[in-house]
Amino acid sequence: MRRVAVVGSGPSGVYSVAALLAEDDLTVDVLDALPTPYGLVRYGVAPDHPKIKSVSKTLEQVLTDPRVRFLGNVRVGVDVPVAELHDHYDAIVYAVGASQGRSLGVPGEDLAGSSSGVDFVRWYSGYPDVPADAYRLTATRAVVVGAGNVALDVVRMLSAGAEALGQTDVPPDVLAGLAASSVREVHLLIRRGPLQTKFTTVELREIGELERADVRLDPADLEGITAEGADRVAQRNLAVLQGWASREPRDTPCTIHLHFWRSPVRVLGTTSVTGVQAERTRQEAGGALVGTGEVLELPAELVISCIGYRGSPIPGVPFDEATGTLPNEGGRLMSAGRPVAGEYVAGWAKRGPTGIIGTNKHDAAETVAALLADLRQRPAGPQRDPDRLLDLLRERGVQVVPWTGWQRIETAEARLGQATGRPTAKITRTPDLLGAAAGRTPEPAAAAGGEAGRG
Ligand code: NAP
């Protein structure tokens, strides 16, 4: 029986498992650094997108296959060195995603009140050990930078109001933080034009449907722009923007302002954010984006830049600093131009942070096809005891969370939700998650941590 380790239980990891299971005579261990499965489906998809989140049901079916074991709370490269994994598995697939936010690289970016969208998403998603007061939302004006779907998620979370999240799994303390928010204006800085954004139309349309927020944009930004020659998404997005530009402004508690052709050049403030300087941009005939020298100053107390993700290195695994991915050819991990025997990569760690959840299906299929082709060339290794790694981890003091442990976490979260009149609510501290996995009831009040607030 061949044994494969898949590192990461988000969509790319689980789609890799599903592809591996098509092969008989093979078992899979899914190792995740977190005690919980599903990666960005649990800690990235916005809480008000339950339909997208429900993909976890499909992922669950794969993870509960009798030939699959979930081993949560295991950090590959830390709790178990990669070299040692080879003693236990015939092949390893890294499906670890991209966990860091890209930085803007402008002066003032590190001021209090300025942060990456990755941190904000983690906060409202109840990512383990992010303190409940990491964002206090005492700002009245917020600037969000970026023209992708993460920027739209952040704009919505800042402007939709806590009522919209009442029946979601947002941790109770985060919900209270959103309910107490003073944000009244959200300014979205988009460095290109209306036809060059990365928004998908369904997500763009959503910000125009919010009850408590009105979308405003300068009709001059749309003047002279036609959909001719643009792709279908850009055409549909333009129609949405044109609709907004021509509608009567509504009197709402919050307003969302879209600023096209604006690139941040400086975050203003001495100790904390007081505003953003954004330079007007234009695109040259060859497509290059250039500044025009005309600078707009937007007062704001909160800045969140949502300009893409990049991966983090795993100790002992080659990493491409320039792209923030694991170097690979068709999913085969590469080092100095040669494939690394028995190591593979899938998902955002392989291709960079692009595409929707479903994109990972054919991406994983390509990686697994390469893995299986290589495996067929190799003689079968010795029979290994599947519990040997678990024993080693236990000796090292690692509390491995099996699938039954995750099921106990789910039950504890349902109990926590019911205590606040909701179907479920996330437990946010690792000790509480591990306690729940071991069958101990977590203290709901222990959700908040101690780090200083960011906004
Ligand atoms: P993204 O789609 O790549 O968008 C990043 C945006 O940041 C781009 O508009 C980019 O502009 C802009 N940007 C980059 N550097 C910048 C800078 N220095 N200054 C100003 N703007 C800058 O990334 P994302 O929003 O993080 O999303 C990642 C992936 O997850 C995407 O595939 C997305 O569709 C997906 N996602 C999907 C959903 C959903 O389906 N509901 C939700 C969230 C995320 P340029 O184009 O000019 O580089």
User: What residues does ligand 1 touch, defined as CB less than 6 Å away?
Assistant: 49, 52, 104, 145-151, 153, 191-192, 197-198, 200, 203, 263, 306-309, 353-356
In 314-398, where do the E strands start and end?
Answer: 328-329, 332-335, 338-345
Predicted confidence band at 109 (pLDDT cuts at 50, 70, 90)? very high
Q: Say how many Å lie between the CA of residue 230 and the centre of ligand 1.
A: 19
pLDDT in tens, 207-226: 999 999 999 999 999 999 99
- Give the pLDDT mean for 431-444: 86
Task: Tell me the CA–centroid distance for residue 146 and ligand 1, in Å.
Answer: 6
Per-residue tokens: 115: 């942060």
Q: What are phi and psi of 34, to 5 degrees?
A: -90, 155
What pLDDT does 449 receive?
39
Q: Tell me which H or E stretch contains 112.
A: none
Pocket-testing residue among 41, 191, 282, ligand 1, by greatest number of atoms within 8 A of Cβ: 191
pLDDT for res 451: 42
The C-alpha atoms of residue 62 and residue 446 are separated, in whole angstroms, by 33
Which tops the pLDDT comparison, 180 or 167?
Answer: 180
Q: Note the pLDDT tens digit of each residue in 333-350.
A: 999 999 999 999 999 999
What number does the ligand 1 atom closest to the CA of 106 have? Answer: 18
Which neighbouring-strand residues pair with 112?
Answer: 272
Q: Ligand 1 pocket test: which of 307, 309, 348, 359 has the largest number of ligand atoms within 8 Å of its C-beta?
A: 307
Ligand 1 centroid to Cα of residue 112, in Å, is 23
- Dist. CA 147–CA 190, nearest whole Å: 5
Tokens standing for residue 290 = 């250039």
Distance CA 234, CA 197 (A): 8
| Paired tokens of 41 | 């489906």
Confidence of residue 55 (pLDDT cuts 50, 70, 90): very high
Cross-strand partners of 297: 277
What percent of the chain is predicted at pLDDT more than 70? 97
41 against 287, higher pLDDT: 41
Report the pLDDT averaged over residues 189-200: 97
What is the C-alpha separation between 333 and 340, in angstroms, rounded? 6
CA of 197 to the centre of ligand 1 (A): 8
The half-sphere exposure of 203 on its side-chain side, counting CA atoms within 13 A, is 24
444: confidence class by pLDDT, cuts 50, 70, 90 = low
- In this prediction, residue 330 has a pLDDT band, given cuts at 50, 70 and 90, of very high
At 45, the pLDDT band (50, 70, 90 cuts) reads very high
Cα of 403 from ligand 1 centre, angstroms: 33
**Protein residue closest via CA to atom 8 of ligand 1:** 147
In three-state secondary structure terms, 272 is: strand
CA distance 143 to 185: 8
The predicted pLDDT at position 287 comes to 85
Is residue 155 scored above 60 in pLDDT?
A: yes
Identify the residue with better confidence: 330 or 379.
330
Res 453 pLDDT > 60: no
| pLDDT band at 448; cut points 50, 70, 90 | very low
CA 308 to ligand 1 centroid distance, Å? 5
Cα angle: 307, vertex 148, 13; to 5 degrees: 85
Name the residue of 54, 144, 150 to mutate for ligand 1: max ligand atoms within 8 A of Cβ.
Answer: 150
Tens digit of each residue's pLDDT (9 = 90 or more) over 115-132: 999 999 999 999 999 999
Name the band, by pLDDT with cuts 50, 70 and 90, for residue 445. low
pLDDT tens for 59-101 read: 999 999 999 999 999 999 999 999 999 999 999 999 999 999 9
pLDDT, mean of residues 298-326:
97
* Residue of the CA atom closest to atom 23 of ligand 1: 308
Cβ burial, residue 272 (10 Å; 0-12/13-18/19+): middle
Cα dist from 174 to 20, 325, 335, 425, whole Å: 38, 31, 43, 10
Least confident of 162-166, 242-246, 310-314, 377-381: 377-381
Rounded distance from Cα 49 to ligand 1 centre (Å): 18
Q: What digits encode the pLDDT tens for the residues 386-416?
A: 999 999 999 999 999 999 999 999 999 999 9
Arithmetic mean of pLDDT, 140-165: 96
**Residue 446 — very low, low, confident or very high, per pLDDT cuts 50/70/90?**
very low
